[in-house]
Amino acid sequence: MTAPRATRAAALLLLTALLASAQSRFASYAGGRVHYESYGDGPEALVFIHGWTCDLTFWRAQAPVYENRRSLLIDLPGHGASDKPDIAYPLEFFARGVEAAMRDAGVERAVLVGHSLGGPIAYTFLRLFPDQVKAIVLVDAGVTVPLDTAAYRSAQAARYAANRKALAGAPGVKYFAARIEAMFSRNTTPELRDRIRSRMLAAPEYVRIAAVSSPSQLDPPKPGETYAIPVLSIQPTPSGPDTRTASLRKTFPGVKVENWIGAGHFLMMESPDRFNRSLNAFVSR
């Protein structure tokens, strides 16, 4: 057996052993059942929240982290092996699915690790269940704080209407596929690209649309509302002014930011060793 083949075989054996040790479970919530994997034991955990039209397998490269710490990997409602009701999917619906998994697993407090849409979901979870959040890690994810103004509501309604139109039908599949391609970088290998494409394009159209066009029913936060919890933001280096960091600091004044030159949207899959080092260091502090 050549060295590369031996390495692949060893990696496959490790993954097989890891999956065998994981506990695949379903938790009940308002919209049905949410699927998750549980690693380790204890009331505090890392909780991995994937992005739009993804699933918990997008965190597989983080196995060296979650196999050594109490962790939950969650298939958000409408995604992966979770139930997929044809309903609205506002951020709070996803957040309550996360809470259902935590409650089912006996996790009382978590470090939420949110990629892409998982970031706004983590923020919404924090607003709903502040005592259950120890820290947040944002992975190429921004946080938009809703405003209690007519102008904000009008702009949001227009944006959601545009999303529904752009993502519907056969033209919507083509548009969506182009959006996926734009998320890649030169660090995204052909194998990764194929895996990401296939899983994201497999998401039901109604979920794909509803996840980015369902307005929240939560009241907007109070003006100037901030959180003192530790927050780490890992993101590709912005091509222009870093408006995301400026926005994050309005809500999380102590946020620590890592800008990765040349990274793509799926940076935790592109550079897993680097990502895992950053995550472990943050959590260890």
Mean pLDDT, rounded, of the chain: 93
pLDDT of res. 63: 97
250 vs 191: CA distance, rounded Å: 38
Is pLDDT above 80 for 120? yes
Residue 30 lies in a domain: yes
Closest of 151, 178, 166, 240 to residue 208, by C-alpha = 166
Residue 10 lies in a domain: no
Give the relative orientation of helices 169-182 and 190-201 as an angle to the nearest 10 degrees.
Answer: 150
Residue 123 lies in a domain: yes
Which residue range forms the structural domain that includes residue 61? 23-284
Total domains present in the chain? 1
Q: Three-state SS for 15?
A: helix
Is pLDDT above 80 for 4? no
Contact yes or no for 265/236 (Cβ under 8 A): yes
Closest of 132, 113, 114, 125 to residue 43, by C-alpha = 132
Instruction: Find the range with the poorest average confidence among 13-27, 68-82, 137-151.
Output: 13-27
Per-residue confidence band for 1, with pLDDT thresholds at 50, 70 and 90: very low
Per-residue confidence band for 7, with pLDDT thresholds at 50, 70 and 90: low
Per-residue confidence band for 119, with pLDDT thresholds at 50, 70 and 90: very high
Cα 49 to its chain centre, rounded Å, is 4
Q: Kind of pairing, strands 231-236 and 71-74?
A: unpaired
pLDDT of res. 23: 87
Per-residue confidence band for 30, with pLDDT thresholds at 50, 70 and 90: confident
Residue 11 lies in a domain: no
242 vs 260: CA distance, rounded Å: 13
User: Which CATH number covers residue 42?
Assistant: 3.40.50.1820
Q: Count CA atoms closer than 13 A to 103's CA, side-chain side.
A: 12
pLDDT of res. 12: 56
Share of the chain above pLDDT 70, in %: 92
Residue 198 lies in a domain: yes
Where is 83: in which H helix or E strand? none
Question: Which token pair is 227?
Answer: 């959180």
Per-residue confidence band for 285, with pLDDT thresholds at 50, 70 and 90: confident
Residue 16 lies in a domain: no
Q: Looking at 22-168, list the stretches that DSSP marks H as alpha helix, in order from N- to C-terminal side.
A: 63-66, 91-105, 118-128, 150-167
Share of the chain above pLDDT 90, in %: 86
Closest of 70, 71, 115, 124 to residue 97, by C-alpha = 124
Contact yes or no for 81/253 (Cβ under 8 A): no
Residue 12 lies in a domain: no
Instruction: Find the range with the poorest average confidence among 58-72, 160-174, 176-190, 234-248.
Output: 234-248
230 vs 180: CA distance, rounded Å: 31
Residue 280 lies in a domain: yes
